[in-house]
Structure 1
Amino acid sequence: MPRERDVAVTGIGLLTPGGHGVEETWKAVCQGRSLARTDPELAGLPVDFACRVDGFEPDAVYGRRLARRLDRYAHLALVTARRAAADAGLEPGGPRADRIGVVLGSGCNSLDTYAREFAALAQDRPLAVSPTALPRSVPNMVAGEVALDLGARGPNFTVASACASGATAIGVAREMLLSGACDIVLTGGGESGRSRMAAACFAQLQALSRRTGDPAAAMRPFDTGRDGFVLSEGAAVLVLERPEHARRRGARVRAVLRGFGAGADAHHPVAPHPAGEGAERAARAALADAGCAVGDVGHVNAHGTSTPAGDTAEALALLRLFHGSPPPVTATKSVLGHAMGASAAVEAALTVLSLERQTVPPTANTRRQEEGRELDLVTVRPRPVAFDVALSNSFGFGGQNAVLVLAAP
């Protein structure tokens, strides 16, 4: 039954290591095989593998001039926003463009650009610093460039909540619609975590899997043998609007965003609360916002980063939330890798697809869970499941927790 605070999802764009669109990415995650492999850009580093988007040539998509103005995270987000707008039947720069907003998430944006420009300064070559360094690097430009490209003149900004950024952006976009600030918002996230700086930093934090001899088996969420995540890149953009607005323009409603919950662990800069208390609070807040009971939830797309501390905390939170019997769970980072600020948006989009297709894609590589902390984890092959409500969990450094409640229209 529609609710006053429901927001319609009327368009989806996806660009991931699984493929250059919605159907390609869905097919990849349903195959349940990790896409991690050795990455030449990371050669010589302690961890030299990642999940990357292949076959995407910015010069061919945007033309050389625009492509050179954008950094990788904006390259990925811009084409994804175009596809989401097309899926929703939006015409760029229409007469109501001042009522179309853009809210995107990014966790670390342009570390490679920063490193390159700082190197010029360190070599006492200030005139070698590119004049495009700032406009291609500052976080807000991922949203600004999308607005410029699509002629969206409504509120426009980027949010940053580490690896929860994409979900936070979606939650904020919903509030903007409910407040009446916009009629339509393009929201989600874009990120390329495959920079040498990011790889070096996360390796030093012991956050990355060290399975350099077998990258495809590296990321294994909730498995007893997990040892860290795999860096990735990608983008996902959802088009949100109030249901009555979607009906007036004859748009297809793919799902509804029913609730959003967020909060902080206030526990540690990079480690989650060991019992997952913040994650549980965010989930309960999202369900309360949605007007849903715990028993209404038929699927969880887990944050599932394959880190020892992170997966334990999330499993404990889910077990408490669902009184020891969670519904079917998947962790799609096991296939696509961890695209940092974009991952939460990718997973929200995949949750919409799960609702549409009544199917939960499998988690790759996980074979044995911790005793006493077992979830109903879907593995090996997709599982048909009849359900109307799902959770999408996202957490990040700084104790950031964000949970979305998505439902069938």
Structure 2
Amino acid sequence: MEKVVITGLGVISPLGNQVDPFWDGLVKGQSGITLIDTFDTTNFKTKIAGSVRDFDADGRFGRKEARRMDRFCQFALAAAEQAWEDAGLSSDKVNGERLGVYVGSGTGGVQSLLEQTAVLKQRGPDRVSPLLVPMMIPNMASAMISIRYGAHGPTMAPVTACSIGNTSIGEAFRLIKMGIADVVIAGGTEAAITDVSLASFGNATALSTRNDDPQRASRPFDAQRDGFVMAEGAGIVVLESLSHALRRDARIYAEVIGYGASSDAYHMVATHPEGYGPYLAMKWALQEAGIQPEEVDVISAHATSTEIGDRSETVAIKRLFGEAAARIPVTANKSMTGHMLGAAGGAEAVALIKTLQEGVIPPTINLEEADPLCDLDYVPNQAREADARIGISNSFGFGGHNAVIVLKKYENS
């Protein structure tokens, strides 16, 4: 079995559109949550989101090419370009037949669908764009990345709601581990901050309505939380077999050593109250990694800032880690980025890799009054230095999908 490492990182996020500003914002405990200004929110319960700012698609791709892609696809391709360049890859350094792409999106091109639906109603069927379907379907992000880099290997778009990023990375890890591919570009992307999405989540009472104080709205594990905050972006990594990375003398960030996936088999949207699915995913990820729970140095929590979600994840961690749970730092990136939905897992994987590399755990901000049922060490409000060698990242999604990856600091032996 091949060992699998990560050699490239790329991020588009509410905290910045490169890895360095994203990471700097996390370490400083900055919030990327602002008032929505892309459509009129007058009649909406929630008026805030983690929006990507200063993203110039026309400048990056050219106006003609940009107009052929929905925003979710633009984010994915931009993050993939970062990761590819960061990995130092080029067409002469990788066999296209052994290059894959696993990048998914929960909603795909929902903005394009809404825009063209309006065109249909206002101007008739003859005016609907012939590019609507390829702009809308969620697999187009992975397809466009494949086209850009000549990836003839396995290319797909896992759709596991908000666990997409970890599902993609985990399945890519298995693909390389089994010797089917040398390199896989993997992660997730999302651009779902639309009027319909905001209205639906709002009517489900899932969103924070702390509109007068956006930066304090996302508050995982805090007793005063009132829901999650929608966000957008992309998180992409380049995975390689260790042998392939060493042959080209690549810089190696971290090793992927385990992956676990499970289903709650419980409810369409509610997390299992006892965290059974997350517990199984974490357990199986550690089993594949061949490590004991007490060897984990940091946990990147899914932690969306909902009562049942935060509590069930805490229960799952305590069930698996036992007495060790009290000493393992647990960090919640969504307190700063908001919930990037299908992009969350990829972006949080990048953050965990940086933690292992830099020895700094980003804080869980806005944790001012702890929920009595959330009693772990959530690294409240200030980043913390830590000699972390092994970390796990949790991602859970609607439908009960759970995906957990285990990353290890790379140490050249």
The two structures share one fold, judged by TM-score above 0.5: yes
- 8 Å CA contact 1:32, 1:379 repeated in 2: no
Distance 1:92 1:79 in 2: 18
Distance 1:362 1:5 in 2: 34
Number of the residue aligned with 1:291: 290
Q: 3-state DSSP class of the match of 2:267?
A: coil
Task: Measure how far apart 1:121 and its partner are.
Answer: 3.7
> Residues 317 and 95 from structure 1, CA distance in 2 versus in 1: closer, same or farther, beyond 3 angstroms?
closer
Q: Does 1:14 align with 2:15?
A: no
Task: Measure how far apart 1:93 and its partner are.
Answer: 6.9
> Residues 237 and 350 from structure 1, CA distance in 2 versus in 1: closer, same or farther, beyond 3 angstroms?
same
Bigger mean CA deviation after superposition, 251-260 or 108-117: 108-117
Distance 2:309 2:366 in 1: 17
Gaps of 5+ in 2: none
**CA offsets per residue over residues 61-94 of structure 1, 9 Å max, x none?**
0001100000000111101101101111101476
- 8 Å CA contact 2:190, 2:340 repeated in 1: yes
Number of the residue aligned with 1:391: 392
Distance 1:31 1:373 in 2: 24
Distance 2:378 2:343 in 1: 23
Number of the residue aligned with 2:127: 128
Distance 2:214 2:221 in 1: 17
Q: Does 1:403 align with 2:404?
A: yes
Task: Measure how far apart 1:324 and its partner are.
Answer: 4.3
In the alignment of these two chains, the number of paired residues is 406
Distance 1:39 1:117 in 2: 22
**CA offsets per residue over residues 160-203 of structure 1, 9 Å max, x none?**
00000111011111111122221100001111131222111111
Distance 1:319 1:220 in 2: 21
Number of the residue aligned with 2:238: 239
Number of the residue aligned with 1:200: 199
- 8 Å CA contact 1:41, 1:196 repeated in 2: no
- 8 Å CA contact 1:319, 1:373 repeated in 2: no
- Over the residues paired in the alignment, what is the CA RMSD in angstroms? 1.4
The aligned amino acid for 1:180 is G
Number of the residue aligned with 1:277: 276
Bigger mean CA deviation after superposition, 367-376 or 333-342: 367-376
Q: Does 1:348 align with 2:349?
A: yes
Number of the residue aligned with 1:255: 254
**CA offsets per residue over residues 296-327 of structure 1, 9 Å max, x none?**
10000000100111111001111122214420
Number of the residue aligned with 2:374: 373
- 8 Å CA contact 1:104, 1:190 repeated in 2: yes
Bigger mean CA deviation after superposition, 85-94 or 165-174: 85-94
Number of the residue aligned with 2:105: 106
The aligned amino acid for 1:200 is A
The aligned amino acid for 1:27 is D
Alignment of 1:136-175 (within 5 A): 136-175=135-174
Distance 2:78 2:106 in 1: 19
Q: Say which of 16, 27, 31 aligns to 2:28.
A: 31
Q: Runs (4+) of structure 1 moved beyond 3 Å?
A: 92-95, 119-124
Distance 1:224 1:372 in 2: 9
Number of the residue aligned with 2:338: 337
**CA offsets per residue over residues 306-355 of structure 1, 9 Å max, x none?**
01111110011111222144200110011011111000110011100000
